[in-house]
Amino acid sequence: MDSMTFCKDSSSVVSDTQIEAIKERVGACVRGLREGRGLRIGVVCSLFNGGITWRLLEGALEALSKWEVDARDVTVVWVPGAFEIPLVARCLASDAKLDAIVCLGAVVRGETGHYDFVAGECASGIQRVQLETGVPVVFGVLTTETISQAEDRSGAGDANKGFEAATTGVEMATLVRQLHRLG
């Protein structure tokens, strides 16, 4: 019991130090890395609510550059709306030999009666694509009550959800690569 390490703040993210501590206690401990060199990344971006998705895309490209993904290894594909994202993600995952796909969109409840269908189908479609293909597909689609909430989540800096989604893409791509090697 004494040797157990408890986290004081149960809502926080597990820290690097905690992960390092676990490595000494198990045979293998694998995590994604923010090392984008050599990765090929697809970005599927929705034209709908373009004022928001443009900001998400700016954030995503900033993250990919920060993690040293070569700009020539990034493919951006535009789709009409969030509903169309899963099909294009599927095409990229099956045919384009990419290491991860980052999906960007904004579904705002205030503006649509079919919010639940668009948001729900987009989310479950994205999950299906990554489970069926084994290629990480990241859900960087904002689902908010108002445009103002979507603006808050697509501002400058690390809190930008596009930045966060692209970072997750790099981490998941490097994680899956390591798992294939473990196999």
- For residue 169, give the nearest of 39, 66, 50, 81 by alpha carbon: 39
Scanning the structure block, which residue is given the tokens 């990765």? 39
Q: Which residue is nearest to ligand INI (CB)?
A: 81
What DSSP designation does 110 have?
Answer: G
Q: From the CB of 7, what's the least distance to ligand INI, in Å?
A: 37
Q: From the CB of 24, what's the least distance to ligand INI, in Å?
A: 46
What DSSP designation does 78 have?
Answer: E
| Shorter beta-carbon distance to ligand INI: residue 49 or 160 | 49
Q: From the CB of 111, what's the least distance to ligand INI, in Å?
A: 5
Rg of the chain, C-alpha, whole Å = 18
- The catalytically annotated residue of 7, 96, 114, 155 is 114
Is 180 an annotated catalytic residue? no
- Cβ neighbours for 120, distance < 8 A, ≥ 6 positions apart: none
Interface contacts to ligand INI, rule CB under 6 A: 46, 48-49, 80-84, 105-108, 111-112, 114, 118
CA distances from 52 to 113, 123, 137 (A): 19, 18, 20
Q: Which two tokens stand for residue 87?
A: 């099909």
Q: Which two tokens stand for residue 99?
A: 């290491």
| Shorter beta-carbon distance to ligand INI: residue 49 or 174 | 49
| Shorter beta-carbon distance to ligand INI: residue 15 or 124 | 124
| Shorter beta-carbon distance to ligand INI: residue 129 or 170 | 129
Q: From the CB of 84, what's the least distance to ligand INI, in Å?
A: 5
Q: Which two tokens stand for residue 113?
A: 């009666």
Residues recognised as catalytic: 114
